Amino acid sequence: MKRLFSVLIALPLVLSLVTGCATTDRTRTQGEGTMVGAAAGALLGGLIGAATGNSDDALVGAAIGAAVGGAAGYVYGTHVANQKEKYASREDWLDACIANVAKVNQETREYNIQLARDIHILETEATRLREDYNKRIVQKSALLEEKEKMEVKLAMAKEKLELARYEKENQEKVLAEAKQTGSNVYVKDFEVKIAELTSCIDELEKQTAVLASLSQDMTV
């Protein structure tokens, strides 16, 4: 696992060098998308691979996850760049950005609701398993199996969290651009939407912390 975490820690540093070479708005957007996608993919792939208990599987999972995630992130970044280029005016682009952050807000709220339900189920099952383990009704393997489920759920939550943070960062850049270009009619709307997204991110961070704690509690 130490080798896995070394890879995951080093990955963002390497990717930051790649994105640092971007010199245009388009290439910067593509590079940022690649970095976020690769980091999230490596985390998820590594944790799923680690679930087998084999460190080599974890490293392979991280590498594959980074490649797939990076490719998906590049596609997303290219999509964003293409979207910006296709609008006839800055106002059309700003309208689209506001609509997008509203969509992300809704999706993140819905994810938080579902995650809260999942956590409740996991907490109930974890309590039962720990009690049964203490009574010698179940083996250690049952706790480890439940922990693996939590780790996968945790990795997915972290990926969702990173994407929400990425969206917030991008929308803050658009807000700054709107202020600089005198598009004051959009400023208030952006500020409200970004505040809503911040609230969703805060909630997701709390739930992610709960998941991490649950997983830790299953260690025996």
Q: What is the pLDDT of residue 68?
A: 46
CA nearest to 168, candidates 190, 185, 187: 190
> How far is residue 207's CA from residue 189's CA, in Å, rounded to a whole number?
27
> How far is residue 199's CA from residue 115's CA, in Å, rounded to a whole number?
16
- Give me the torsion for CA of 91, 96, 102, 107, rounded to 10°: -170
How many other β-carbons are positioned within 10 Å of the β-carbon of residue 30? 23
**For residue range 106-128, what is the model confidence (pLDDT) as tens digits?**
999 999 999 999 999 999 999 99
**For residue range 131-190, what is the model confidence (pLDDT) as tens digits?**
999 999 999 999 999 999 999 999 999 999 999 998 998 889 888 888 988 888 899 999
- Which residue reads 């980091």 in tokens? 39
pLDDT at 34 over 90: no
* Model pTM score: 0.64
Q: What is the pLDDT of residue 15?
A: 42
Q: Which amino acid is at 193?
A: K
